[in-house]
Amino acid sequence: MNINIKWGFIGCGVVTQKKSGPAFNLVRGSQIVAVMGRDKERTRAYAKQFNIPRWYTDAQELIDDPEVNAIYIATPPSSHATYAIMAMKSGKPVYVEKPLAANYEDCARINRISRETGIPCFVAYYRRYLPYFNKVKELLPRLGKVLNVQIRFAVPARDVDYNRNDLPWRVQPDIAGGGYFYDLAAHQLDLLQDMFDCILEAEGYTANRGGLYEAEDTVSACFKFENGIPGSGSWCFVANELAREDHIEIFGSKGTLKFSVFTFEPIIFTGENGSEEFAIPNPIYVQLPLIKNVVEHLQHTAVCSCDSVSATPTNWVMDKILGKIL
């Protein structure tokens, strides 16, 4: 059956321009037909730039557009649940940016409505589908028995973090769910759970060492997967430039595997015969492989497992680490 998926965007920020937006028009049977943003002039300009036929400043109007049969939510996490539930109650499938919501409770609400309506909600954990991380998964068996997993991430504060009168939403917990940890660690923790199943135990220690904003800027955590593998993580968002790091290292009985999550440095496998490096390129629009799978799911030609149910454990883990739930 030939089904055309006609997308309406709620939100038209930078992520839709660089990572996702154009990809929706690159998939057969998929096109963007409407966009919504709160700023009238900015939204009109966005629609013109990307040749989108209609634009709105009210989310309900976009959802009610009879030409729109699927919704992409690209707003900050605090509004994800509201827009996702509005869309699903209107019978329209949802593709929402990560993390799924600003807290675990909102994720549960989204899952309940999806279950009750029978309308799917997909989540933009696109790294699961990228060639770079597919190579990581391909190399895992060479490790033998996996013994331990370590996340190490450190970056300097950004220039915008010093603007106390206009801080980015990503460091405002009521909007983002936490600080940069909630935005970035989501990708790392989702990837690891995709590889090793759910994390069932987690605890963390947080601090604000830079004093630039109220949210945590430094986090240390330990966790354990369902299969018994222990792991740990360290995140610092106010580090010295010399301390910059973006690595996950997996230790096995026959070797180690080291890779990055955001910089896509060459993957390094080290075994008894020495080290091997693998430089794996990704598509220009990094969300394209996942978006293609979502569209094919909606066209009934494939199954996409990157849904709200699979995304919820990551919010649970982050909330546990930040002490948001006991």
Report field, pTM of the whole predicted structure over 0.85: yes
Render pLDDT for 1-44 as a digit per residue (tens, 0 to 9).
Answer: 579 999 999 998 888 887 788 999 999 999 999 999 999 999 99
Domain extents in the chain: 5-124, 131-281
User: Quick check: 48 pLDDT over 60?
Assistant: yes
Render pLDDT for 172-185 as a digit per residue (tens, 0 to 9).
Answer: 999 999 999 999 99
Q: Are 180 and 172 in contact (CB under 8 A)?
A: no
Structure confidence at residue 1 (pLDDT): 55
Structure confidence at residue 326 (pLDDT): 84
Domain 5-124 annotated CATH 3.40.50.720: yes
Render pLDDT for 273-293 as a digit per residue (tens, 0 to 9).
Answer: 999 999 999 999 999 999 999
Render pLDDT for 253-277 as a digit per residue (tens, 0 to 9).
Answer: 999 999 999 999 999 999 999 999 9
Q: Name the residue with tokens 């690209």.
A: 74
Closest CA to 157 of 227, 218, 246, 223: 218
Structure tokens at 130: 């990228």
Average pLDDT, the chain: 96
Structure confidence at residue 18 (pLDDT): 77
- What pLDDT band is residue 217 in, cutting at 50, 70 and 90? very high
Average of pLDDT values for 137-150?
98
- CATH value of 131-281 in 3.20.20.450, 3.30.360.10, 3.30.2020.30, 3.90.320.10: 3.30.360.10
Q: Taking the mean position of all CA atoms in its chain, how far away is CA 228?
A: 25
Closest CA to 247 of 229, 228, 265, 224: 265
Structure confidence at residue 20 (pLDDT): 84
Q: Are 310 and 317 in contact (CB under 8 A)?
A: no
**Helix extents (H) in the chain:** 14-15, 40-49, 59-64, 80-89, 104-117, 131-139, 173-176, 180-196, 288-298, 308-322
